[in-house]
Amino acid sequence: MLPGTLLMNVEIEEVQGEAGWVVRLDTCTVNFRSQGEAQAYAARLQARLDAPHALPASCSEVLTELSLSGSTSQATSELHR
């Protein structure tokens, strides 16, 4: 994992006292009627989170400028402001 990478937790749990399952993405929840539906959603969500993502041009410019100046730790700080 790269420094400054955001980690998002995807969890599946059975709802106690009710018929159903819930998928949690940190503080967000999505309800499902079956475990299979919840697992399929969680797998697709995790695949999307794990997929490579391109940085916006403005972020790429900041990284380029800072890497030319030799300050990659400062580049990470700038991106997380």
Res 26: pLDDT = 86
Highest mean pLDDT pick, 5-9, 47-51, 68-72: 47-51
pLDDT at 43 over 70: yes
Read off the pLDDT of residues 6-39 as tens digits, 9 standing for 90 and up. 677 899 999 987 779 999 998 899 999 999 999 9
E strand or H helix at 32, and its extent? strand 28-32
**What is the structure's pLDDT at 49?**
87
Output 68-77 pairs: Cβ under 8 A, ≥24 positions apart. Answer: 73/3, 76/3, 76/4
